[in-house]
Amino acid sequence: MTFSELGHNPPGEIVTDDLLAVSLLDITWRPEVVRTLLGSRKQELSRLLAAIPQDVDLWEASDEALADIDLIWKTLMSIEGIGSASASKLLARKRPRICPISDSLVRDAVDVPGRTCDVLRCLLQDPQARADVELLRPDIAGTVSLLRILDVALWVSHSKSAVAQQVRKEAGLPPL
């Protein structure tokens, strides 16, 4: 919940609260990356963000919207010090309904060759799959995107971290 709700999250720009929220998902920002995101490339990234719809879910997204996501993805990845996990987590913060998190844990959990975004888009086009994910939503997560619910479910189900194991135990799930 903190990732989604922390501080100020203006849809058209990357701000310090976004970087702090992403750091809660185990991302460390190097000083030169922070300066680049909040300074020298801020306007370019704001322009690219503006092209991505805020009110569209991944499974309903047009190919054009996904192409716009690819463009900002490539731009973020061109910044030295930003990898696929940090880029996807930052985009998930800025566009939580259309940009899934794609880190090594999610890629391993999905276990299908190709872009994680395409795999999840295909999966979530099935209304029953969306309903199944929705059943996992806790009461306190009323406004969180379905993609974030899916991400947390994948993390709890596949992470070997002590925190994930504790959550599994509290939920009555067997350890990994």
Q: What pLDDT digit, counting tens, does each position of 94-148 carry?
A: 999 999 998 888 888 888 766 788 899 999 999 999 999 999 998 888 889 999 9
Cα–Cα distance for residue pair 84/31, rounded to 1 Å: 18
CA distances from 72 to 11, 113, 164, 169 (A): 14, 22, 31, 38
- Fill in the DSSP letter of residue 174: P
Name the token pair of 141: 């997560």
Confidence (pLDDT) at 107: 82
Interatomic CA distance for residues 44 and 74, integer angstroms: 12
Contacts of 38 (CB under 8 A, 6+ apart): 14, 15, 16, 19
